[in-house]
Amino acid sequence: MLRSTISVLLLGCLTPALPQTVIKMGTLAPEGSPWHQALQLMGERWRKISGGQVKLVIYPGGVLGDEPDMVNKMRIGQIQSAGLSGAGLSGIEPGVMALQIPMMFDSYEELDYVRERVAPRLEQMIEAHGYVVLNWGDVGWVHFFTTRPATRLGDMRKMKIFTWAGGDNQTLELWKANGFRAVPLAATDILTSLQTGLIDAVPATPLYALLDQSFGIARNMIDVKWAPLVGATLITRRMWDSLPAAQRDDMMKAARDAGVSMRDGIRKMGDEAVVTMQKRRLQVIQVDAAALAEWHREAEGVYPKVRGGMVPAELFDEVRKLRDEYRATAGAGK
């Protein structure tokens, strides 16, 4: 008996441990934020599913650079995954901008209806570039945060507006072509640029403005939903295919579940963020019906440039058709 026990112990010592797969992920999401927490939850689920053989290491808060930097790092294999907003996603597949067309959607219900139906197509388009979509999420509704009060787009043209550097140059050119003073910068430079006066306005979601404290300088938020800022978590196709095939379905389900939980929580926290910032001297600039109609006219006036330019024409048309379909259905149900 003793001899058998010793033999088993020796055999265990001589059996090599399976190598652990480490997946490095970058994200701009601040440490401890709901986005970061959801990714941590996903990583913990992956660890259990794989029996400890898959380890997700998350680098939050932009420590790996801006989103275009993270995309480049994935391309060259320095990291294998990233949690990206639509700005970073459009650097991989411009078609993602179809979900972020200014003034296209009025509610999350419209966005959900459209995204559910176009997501499979977008995922195929992204996969063609070598990435697998693990989940979709939201960053919130983009509003303009400004250092001085403004209500109309004409007021915005007098300001220096942040736009993403190193990403989609078409967006920068579109801003400029419509009379805006766009300043391309890394998202990690927003706070410093507001402090120094390099920019006067930032299109941002309320929750992100609260977390990065940019609202402390840009103390005015125009109460217009400019566009939803969507997000997605990607992993390189090479890394995904290297994971055990028997575990991938469960890992994908864990990732999708994390995305849904993150989406619901962030929507609630986005509304709460506005209230919190108002208590800290944020001024919410209300817009009357005439001014809102002007915002819609100006945004829709650039659709001909967006359609077939930033967004494939067929995809643009499909998104608008689905939005109108939802509005007709929702209106009929009232």
Residue 198 lies in a domain: yes
pLDDT single digits (tens) 55-87: 999 999 999 999 999 999 999 999 999 999 888
User: Is the predicted pLDDT of residue 278 greater than 90, yes or no?
Assistant: yes
Residue 197 pLDDT level (bands cut at 50, 70, 90):
very high
Rounded CA-CA distance 91/128 in Å is: 14
Q: Kindly state the average pLDDT of the residues 228-244.
A: 96
Residue pair 60/4 in contact by the 8 Å Cβ criterion: no
pLDDT single digits (tens) 153-172: 889 899 999 988 765 567 77
pLDDT of residue 259: 87
Residue 226 lies in a domain: yes
141: tokens are 């509704």
Phi-psi region of 51 (alpha: psi -120 to 50; beta: other; left: phi over 0): left
Q: How many domains does the chain have?
A: 1
Residue 300 lies in a domain: yes
Question: Using the 8-state DSSP alphabet, how is residue 19 labeled?
Answer: P
Per DSSP, the residues of 239-255 read HHHHS-HHHHHHHHHHH
Question: Using the 8-state DSSP alphabet, how is residue 9 labeled?
Answer: H
User: Is the predicted pLDDT of residue 333 greater than 80, yes or no?
Assistant: no
83: tokens are 């949690």
Residue 2 lies in a domain: no
Residue 6 lies in a domain: no
pLDDT single digits (tens) 77-114: 999 999 998 888 988 999 999 999 999 999 999 999 99
User: Is the predicted pLDDT of residue 281 greater than 50, yes or no?
Assistant: yes
pLDDT single digits (tens) 126-150: 999 999 999 998 889 999 999 999 9
pTM for the structure as a whole: 0.86
Question: Using the 8-state DSSP alphabet, how is residue 170 labeled?
Answer: H
Is residue 267 classed exposed, middle or buried when 0-12, 13-18 and 19+ CB atoms within 10 A define those classes? middle
The CATH code of the domain that includes 105 is 3.40.190.170
pLDDT of residue 179: 85
Residue 7 lies in a domain: no
pLDDT of residue 15: 44
Residue 14 lies in a domain: no
Residue pair 115/136 in contact by the 8 Å Cβ criterion: yes
Residue 12 lies in a domain: no
Rounded CA-CA distance 193/256 in Å is: 36
Range of the domain at 65: 21-332
